[in-house]
Amino acid sequence: MQDWDSIHKKFCGKKAYTFALTLVDSSDPVISRTFDVPSWFTFRQLHDTVQYAMTWTDSHLHSFTCVEMPSGRTRRDAYSARKELLLISGKDGLGYGDDMFPLEEVPTEDENKLKLSDVYEPTGRLYNVAVPRGEPSALMYLYDFGDNWEHQLLFKGSKPARAARPVFTAVSGCAPVEDCGGVYGWDNIKEAYQAPHPTEDQLERISWVKEIAGDAYNPLAEPDMASMNSQGARPNR
């Protein structure tokens, strides 16, 4: 473990930002990840962080959108009431806000160039766009426009940086398997694994999951935060 003097010398004056991520509409348990990331990260690196946190395979399109949410609302039934403030997408694929899914009069930025500090630092060039009236907007990360995995990231503040990589501080809920049909397909998988006497459909669903994730995979298990924080570790559930 690094001592404070060496950490201070390496990261003196640098910040980390804390985000609380929730997989929208997940339940029993709610799938969440809280982590610190360097303020100098780009949104592409934040994308990589979310992919790692959720064990996604980066096989589908994605986009970030800063939105104003109705007070106390996070679920998809509030989508029509959202106000899009800023779209952040990559140049390697279509996303919401481009020719396929136009969002009128919404500023668009390249995730490969835009830094987190451009948005969340009071001196950042887009701070007044993404942090209206001094209150950070919700950052929505949409992955796989078919399954529609929607993640809400809430900016929780800054602290002195202690590492040049993401550091997870709280995790809950097993990450879903890819291409399972979204949140509701994921609920069906958990139900199948919990069934004392699985139906034929549930047995087929379990068999499919094992083909994708292996026999040892358990959708009811909690993720291992220590392993997630191991430098050089591969994504884990």
What does the pLDDT profile of the chain (237 residues) look like in tens digits? 555 455 556 777 899 999 999 999 999 999 999 999 999 999 999 999 999 999 999 999 999 999 987 655 555 554 556 889 999 998 654 454 444 455 567 899 999 999 999 999 999 999 999 998 888 999 999 999 999 999 999 999 999 999 999 999 999 999 999 999 999 999 999 999 999 999 999 999 999 999 999 999 999 999 999 999 986 554 444
Amino acid letter, residue 30: V
- CATH number, span 4-175: 3.10.290.30
By the 8 A CB rule, do 157 and 17 touch?
Answer: yes
Structure tokens at 175: 């990450």
Q: How many helices (H) and strands (E) does the chain have?
A: 7, 8
Element (H, E) at 194: helix 182-194
Burial (CB < 10 A; 0-12, 13-18, 19+), residue 33, is buried
Quote the strand ranges of the chain, DSSP E. Answer: 15-23, 32-38, 62-68, 83-89, 108-110, 138-143, 149-160, 167-172
What is the maximum span of the chain, computed from C-alpha positions, in angstroms?
60
User: Is 174 in contact with 223 (CB distance < 8 Å)?
Assistant: yes
- Contact yes or no for 32/24 (Cβ under 8 A): no
- Per the document, the length of the chain is 237
Q: Where are the domains of the chain?
A: 4-175
Assigned token pair, 51: 């992919």
Compute the distance between CA of residue 161 and CA of residue 186 in angstroms, rounded to an integer: 35
Neighbours of 39 (CB within 10 A): 19
Give this prediction's pTM: 0.87
Answer for the pair 24, 152: CB distance below 8 angstroms, yes or no. yes
